[in-house]
Amino acid sequence: MSEESTGGTPPEEATIALPAGTGAGEATAPIRPGNPDDEPTVAMSANAPADEPTVAMPADAPAEEATVAMPADTPAEEATVAMRPAAAPVPERPVQSPSEPVETATSESGSGGFVLSRRRLLLGLSGVAGVAVAATAVAVRSASSGSGEDASRPTPAQPVVVTSRAPESTAVSKAPAPVQRRPISTLADYAKATGGPAFPTDAVALTIDDGPHPVWTPKILKLLDKYQVPAMFCMIGNQVLGHEDVARMVTRSGHQLANHTWSHPTELGGKSRKVAQAEIHKAQTKISKTTGYEPRLFRSPGGDWSPQLLWAVAQAGLLPLDWSNDPRDWSQPGASKIEHRMLAAQPGQILLCHDGGGDRSQTYQALSVVIPALQARGLRFVAL
């Protein structure tokens, strides 16, 4: 062993030759250069054949060191130690199998030896040992977590998931009803179709179509409340859209709702089953989602029926509803004509009038006369 010193610009700095068989993913510790000008160095025998492949490790570009990342502020879960994998170092010099040692040894070091400072040796050994300990700890941690959670460790509480209201679908799921050969037009028809008890012999039912309307529906509701008359409001789906508060006003007042299609198409009985089902289902969904009331009855616009429409109504789980007294108030013939036709009502009939589709001032005026007049005759308004 001897001390050596060099003058001027030192030759290429000494490196440690390691066997090339080391795995690419294995953690390595960089050996930082010392000051070769004034340090004693130690010559160590390489003990490797001259032709064995070696890896030249650059002294001035150490490989990225593995670090330990501790997550901050994670109270819900146990903090874990994550080893960031070191990126494969890009050597400044290519891996080579030199035919002669990287550094020429002094005459005292012997054949095949190379010069290594004492400080570099100690730093290198301590760095390798530190990386090995860290890698072992991470390996043990990974093995324990991969085989299953420790039963003694408490499981973190799961957050409560709050979901918003589900969006409206295009159909309301309901069991199909028996197909009716013709729509319900009297109270006796209704009792037969539903299997319910017979209505009183002095009963009549009032049905009101084409709403809700922001002006006439609230006015008619006040009139019905004044005379304690229940009614069936046959609502159009796209009229409920935009007038949801009025639709809810009807149910809050204790009245019933029926499905009167989505868009009130004319001659619905002549349209395809697909079109009919779409009109029924879309309106059913909108009405029930808006008011919380699921209609049980369906009325075709203009009383237009067909076997295929009756089938579509039954598939939706509804019963077809018609009428037996039509004052034709939708045509605005004048309040007196509306009154005259409605006053001809007989026990057991289902009466028709409208709160939507235009100016219903004539209907409102006629109802204010007809309702108390029919009650005075001993007729009783009943709910379906």
Active site residue 264: no
Nearest to 186 by CA among 174, 208, 204: 204
Q: Which among 209, 322, 329, 355 is annotated as catalytic?
A: 209
Q: Is the peptide bond before 212 cis (omega within 30 degrees of 0)?
A: yes
Is 329 designated active site?
no
Question: From the candidates 213, 255, 281, 354, which is the catalytic residue?
Answer: 354
Furthest CA-CA distance within the chain:
136
8 Å CB contact between 117 and 42: yes
User: At a CB cut-off of 8 Å and minimum separation 6, what does 147 contact?
Assistant: none
Instruction: Please tell me the distance from the alpha carbon of residue 278 to that of residue 342, in angstroms, as a whole number.
Output: 33
Task: In whole angstroms, give the CA distance from residue 81 to residue 234.
Answer: 66
Measured between alpha carbons, how far is 371 from 383 in angstroms, rounded to an integer?
A: 15
CA dihedral 368, 370, 374, 379 (to 10 degrees): -80
**Cβ–Cβ contacts within 10 Å for residue 262, how many?**
22
Active-site positions?
209, 354
